[in-house]
Amino acid sequence: MGMQSKNTASIEDKRAEEKEVVSKMIAIYCRGHKHTTVGLCQDCQGLLDYARQRVDRCPFMETKTFCSTCRVHCYEQSMRTRIREVMRYSGPWMLLYHPILTIRHLIEEQRAKKRQTERGTMP
Protein backbone atom coordinates (compact mmCIF):
# COMPACT_ATOMS: atom_id res chain seq x y z
CA MET A 1 0.00 0.00 0.00
CA GLY A 2 1.49 3.29 -1.13
CA MET A 3 -0.42 5.19 1.49
CA GLN A 4 1.09 3.08 4.22
CA SER A 5 4.71 3.88 3.39
CA LYS A 6 3.95 7.54 2.92
CA ASN A 7 2.28 7.78 6.30
CA THR A 8 4.50 5.56 8.38
CA ALA A 9 5.81 8.36 10.58
CA SER A 10 2.38 9.75 11.22
CA ILE A 11 0.98 6.31 12.04
CA GLU A 12 3.55 6.02 14.79
CA ASP A 13 2.63 9.54 15.91
CA LYS A 14 -0.99 8.46 16.08
CA ARG A 15 -0.16 5.43 18.14
CA ALA A 16 1.90 7.55 20.50
CA GLU A 17 -0.83 10.14 20.81
CA GLU A 18 -3.54 7.56 21.36
CA LYS A 19 -1.47 6.08 24.17
CA GLU A 20 -0.80 9.50 25.64
CA VAL A 21 -4.47 10.42 25.65
CA VAL A 22 -5.56 7.14 27.20
CA SER A 23 -2.86 7.35 29.85
CA LYS A 24 -3.90 10.88 30.82
CA MET A 25 -7.56 9.88 30.97
CA ILE A 26 -6.85 6.90 33.18
CA ALA A 27 -4.68 9.09 35.45
CA ILE A 28 -7.51 11.61 35.88
CA TYR A 29 -9.95 8.80 36.62
CA CYS A 30 -7.67 7.11 39.15
CA ARG A 31 -6.84 10.37 40.93
CA GLY A 32 -10.46 11.50 40.85
CA HIS A 33 -11.57 8.32 42.57
CA LYS A 34 -8.72 8.51 45.07
CA HIS A 35 -7.60 4.99 44.28
CA THR A 36 -4.08 5.76 45.44
CA THR A 37 -1.94 8.72 46.46
CA VAL A 38 0.87 8.27 43.96
CA GLY A 39 0.79 7.26 40.32
CA LEU A 40 -1.81 4.72 39.30
CA CYS A 41 -3.43 2.03 41.40
CA GLN A 42 -2.88 -1.56 40.29
CA ASP A 43 -6.25 -1.86 38.54
CA CYS A 44 -5.82 1.34 36.56
CA GLN A 45 -2.23 0.44 35.70
CA GLY A 46 -3.52 -2.89 34.41
CA LEU A 47 -6.11 -1.14 32.28
CA LEU A 48 -3.47 1.23 30.91
CA ASP A 49 -1.10 -1.62 30.07
CA TYR A 50 -3.93 -3.37 28.28
CA ALA A 51 -4.93 -0.26 26.34
CA ARG A 52 -1.34 0.41 25.27
CA GLN A 53 -0.94 -3.15 24.11
CA ARG A 54 -4.14 -2.96 22.05
CA VAL A 55 -2.92 0.21 20.34
CA ASP A 56 0.49 -1.37 19.65
CA ARG A 57 -1.21 -4.29 17.97
CA CYS A 58 -3.91 -2.30 16.25
CA PRO A 59 -4.18 -3.12 12.56
CA PHE A 60 -6.29 -0.04 11.85
CA MET A 61 -4.10 2.84 12.92
CA GLU A 62 -2.95 3.38 9.37
CA THR A 63 -6.42 3.83 7.97
CA LYS A 64 -8.44 5.14 10.86
CA THR A 65 -7.33 7.26 13.70
CA PHE A 66 -8.48 6.51 17.22
CA CYS A 67 -10.16 3.85 19.29
CA SER A 68 -13.09 6.16 19.90
CA THR A 69 -13.95 6.11 16.19
CA CYS A 70 -13.29 2.40 15.74
CA ARG A 71 -16.16 0.17 14.67
CA VAL A 72 -14.34 -3.01 15.56
CA HIS A 73 -13.24 -2.23 19.08
CA CYS A 74 -10.86 -5.02 19.92
CA TYR A 75 -11.09 -4.67 23.71
CA GLU A 76 -12.42 -7.67 25.58
CA GLN A 77 -15.79 -6.96 27.20
CA SER A 78 -14.67 -6.26 30.76
CA MET A 79 -11.87 -3.93 29.65
CA ARG A 80 -14.20 -2.22 27.26
CA THR A 81 -16.66 -1.53 30.05
CA ARG A 82 -13.89 -0.11 32.20
CA ILE A 83 -12.38 2.09 29.52
CA ARG A 84 -15.83 3.46 28.68
CA GLU A 85 -16.30 4.43 32.30
CA VAL A 86 -12.91 6.15 32.29
CA MET A 87 -13.77 8.06 29.09
CA ARG A 88 -17.10 9.18 30.48
CA TYR A 89 -15.54 10.41 33.68
CA SER A 90 -12.35 11.93 32.32
CA GLY A 91 -13.58 13.32 29.01
CA PRO A 92 -14.84 16.62 30.42
CA TRP A 93 -11.68 17.11 32.49
CA MET A 94 -9.35 16.56 29.57
CA LEU A 95 -10.14 19.95 28.03
CA LEU A 96 -9.29 21.62 31.29
CA TYR A 97 -6.10 19.72 32.10
CA HIS A 98 -4.71 19.04 28.63
CA PRO A 99 -6.43 21.50 26.28
CA ILE A 100 -3.99 21.38 23.38
CA LEU A 101 -3.67 17.60 23.29
CA THR A 102 -7.44 17.26 23.63
CA ILE A 103 -8.34 19.72 20.91
CA ARG A 104 -5.84 18.16 18.54
CA HIS A 105 -7.26 14.74 19.34
CA LEU A 106 -10.83 15.90 18.78
CA ILE A 107 -9.90 17.42 15.42
CA GLU A 108 -8.17 14.20 14.38
CA GLU A 109 -11.20 12.22 15.46
CA GLN A 110 -13.47 14.35 13.33
CA ARG A 111 -11.17 13.86 10.35
CA ALA A 112 -11.14 10.11 10.92
CA LYS A 113 -14.93 10.00 11.12
CA LYS A 114 -15.18 11.98 7.93
CA ARG A 115 -12.78 9.63 6.17
CA GLN A 116 -14.75 6.64 7.39
CA THR A 117 -17.99 8.12 6.14
CA GLU A 118 -16.46 8.92 2.77
CA ARG A 119 -15.06 5.44 2.42
CA GLY A 120 -18.15 3.86 3.89
CA THR A 121 -16.49 0.52 4.42
CA MET A 122 -14.00 1.02 7.20
CA PRO A 123 -14.20 -0.97 10.39
Query: In the set 6, 33, 73, 111, which binds ligand SF4 (CB under 6 A)?
Result: 73
Report the distance separating Cα 67 and Cα 56, nearest Å: 12
- Minimum CB separation from Zn ion for residue 29, in Å? 7
CA gyration radius, the chain: 15
For residues 26 and 51, the answer to whether their CB atoms sit within 8 Å is yes
74 binds ligand SF4 (CB under 6 A): yes
72 binds ligand SF4 (CB under 6 A): yes
- Minimum CB separation from Zn ion for residue 69, in Å? 26
Q: At a CB cut-off of 8 Å and minimum separation 6, what does 19 contact?
A: 51, 52, 55
Report the distance separating Cα 41 and Cα 50, nearest Å: 14
- Rounded (10°) CA dihedral 24, 9, 110, 26: -10
Q: Which option in ligand SF4, Zn ion, none does residue 112 bind, with CB closer than 5 to 8 A by kind?
A: none
Size of the site for ligand SF4 (CB under 6 A): 10
Closest to ligand SF4 by CB, 72 or 95: 72
Judged by the rule CB under 6 A, the positions of this chain that interact with ligand SF4 are: 54-55, 58, 60, 67, 70, 72-75
